[in-house]
Amino acid sequence: MLTAYLVPHPPLIIPGVGAGDEIPDTRRAYELIAAETAALSPETVIIISPHSIMYSDYIHISPGKSASGDLSAFRAGHIKFSVDYDAELAARIAECAEEDGIPAGSLGERDPSLDHGVTAPLYFFKSKRIVRVSLSGLPLTDHYRFGMCVSRAALSLSRKVVLVASGDMSHKLKEDGPYGFAKEGPEHDAFVRQCAEDADFRKLMSVDPSLCERAAECGFRSLVILAGAMDGLRVKSRVLAYEGPFGVGYLTAAFTGDGDADSLLPLILSDKKAKTEKLRGSEDSFVRLARRNVEHYVRTGKSIELPADTAREMLSRRAGVFVSIKKDGNLRGCIGTTEPTRSNIALEILSNSVSAAARDPRFDPIEPEELDSLSYSVDVLSPPVAIKSKDELDVLRYGVIVTRGNRRGLLLPNLDGVDTADAQISIARQKGGIRENEPYTLERFEVVRHT
């Protein structure tokens, strides 16, 4: 049997940070979980935290024998925590992940102190031995498979554990919340709550990644690891509380896995493949050209020749082009040209799609095994037009170019999380290495986005 909990981590739930009654339903749920966990007497509590160190391509497991932390970041430094790590279990989880080809381990720790994604649950659980696991930018399926490794490692050591998935829901539930309001905020929380109520982890894994991104959540991947740990078990669930008085969703749920059931992983992978095939079937000629070129280049190191059926529109016009590549909803590469550098749009796509796949300095080159997980978009730019102020911008319609001498930063329009002209300019300025106090000029441009 495996017992697991999804819990939020608002520090104000701890007396001394908050009054203790700001989120009463969540507090009561925590007290119930604490009593249940005490009755179970686990040898180790495994806590998955979105606020531990996070890498794009590696799931971090905290190393060492022990760790400590406090709530000084929340003006309550007198509240301190100290725990031992279950080093044997942590090492076994890393071994299982390596066996399954999942990048995970204890390398690269920068700050050993306990984060509030861990300390908020610890205040109630009083556990003295834990394993702390972070999230990553890896695909959801890798997090699910990592969860399977967690339960397999515990079983191999006959370790009695409780698994805690720490994470808040959407941060965009109210206009006066920390990130304002987005309609995707309540949509995301309703979706996750229903999946939790039904213990429907297959549905959970079908989520549109853009929904999570636009909702500004921090706990979804924690829940995915929990779901993976429950794979192959008959799962019963209880939603214990949900509230969001401050514009952030706090969902608390309990899961018990007991007895054998069919693994969901084959179905999840099948659903993912079907979704990819559906995307391929809806591609227009711009996106198809970019995808085919990336796939050929990654496998052979060479670009394709322009196909005989290349659309006339791509051959008869010149324009700047940006090619963006995402993997399971996360950016995997984006390179483009603000003005044409080739004799037509088709050749511009070929050049920039290779650069996005292999030369974006923010990412490692795309590997062949990733190709089936990728989605593409192609933005064809209009010529930039100089503007006098941010008042002439519209983040949904116009991209922006910020220039200072030979330094230049560009941001495309209609991007998730970029809701104001100030934010758009700030990001473009930083991309161009232009300091906030330096004067700069602005240009705007329109795009035709092919997805």
Closest CA to 229 of 76, 376, 48, 70: 48
Distance CA 414, CA 396 (A): 4
| Residues 166, 9 contacting (CB under 8 angstroms) | yes
pLDDT of the residue at 373: 86
Q: Domains in the chain, ordered, with CATH?
A: 2-270 (3.40.830.10), 274-450 (3.30.700.20)
- For residue 432, pLDDT over 80 is answered with yes
Closest CA to 12 of 251, 246, 178: 246
Backbone phi, psi, residue 277, to 5°: -65, -35
Q: Identify the band that residue 325 occupies on the pLDDT scale cut at 50, 70 and 90.
A: very high
Give the list of residues 6+ apart from residue 421 with CB closer than 8 angstroms, or none: 390, 391, 393, 394, 395, 400
- For residue 427, pLDDT over 90 is answered with yes
- For residue 406, pLDDT over 80 is answered with yes
Distance CA 244, CA 193 (A): 13
Q: Identify the band that residue 20 occupies on the pLDDT scale cut at 50, 70 and 90.
A: low
Distance CA 150, CA 230 (A): 10
Q: What is the tens place of the pLDDT at every residue in 328-352?
A: 778 899 999 989 999 999 999 999 9
Distance CA 380, CA 448 (A): 5
The share of the chain scoring above pLDDT 90, in percent, equals 84
Q: What is the mean pLDDT of residues 367-392?
A: 93
- For residue 408, pLDDT over 70 is answered with yes
126 against 353, higher pLDDT: 353
pLDDT of the residue at 114: 96
Q: What is the tens place of the pLDDT at every residue in 215-252?
A: 999 999 999 999 999 999 999 999 999 999 999 999 99
Q: Give the count of beta carbons closer than 10 Å to the beta carbon of residue 41.
A: 8
| Residues 132, 13 contacting (CB under 8 angstroms) | no
CA of residue 42 relative to chain centroid, distance: 30
pLDDT of the residue at 277: 85
| Residues 397, 421 contacting (CB under 8 angstroms) | no
- For residue 213, pLDDT over 80 is answered with yes
Give the list of residues 6+ apart from residue 152 with CB closer than 8 angstroms, or none: 96
Query: What is the pTM assigned to this prediction?
Result: 0.86
- Mean pLDDT, all residues of the chain: 94
Distance CA 451, CA 448 (A): 10
DSSP-H helix ranges across 50-115: 87-99
Q: What is the tens place of the pLDDT at every residue in 179-193?
A: 899 999 999 999 999
Query: How many Cα atoms occupy the beta-carbon half-sphere of 236 within 13 Å?
Result: 4
352 is written with which tokens?
Answer: 């920039």
| Residues 64, 87 contacting (CB under 8 angstroms) | yes
Helix, strand, coil percentages for the chain (3-state, nearest 5):
40, 25, 35
Q: What is the tens place of the pLDDT at every residue in 126-160?
A: 888 999 999 998 999 999 999 999 999 999 999 99
Instruction: Return the SS3 of 329.
Output: coil
Distance CA 23, CA 55 (A): 32
- For residue 417, pLDDT over 80 is answered with no
Distance CA 1, CA 154 (A): 11
354 is written with which tokens?
Answer: 């290779």
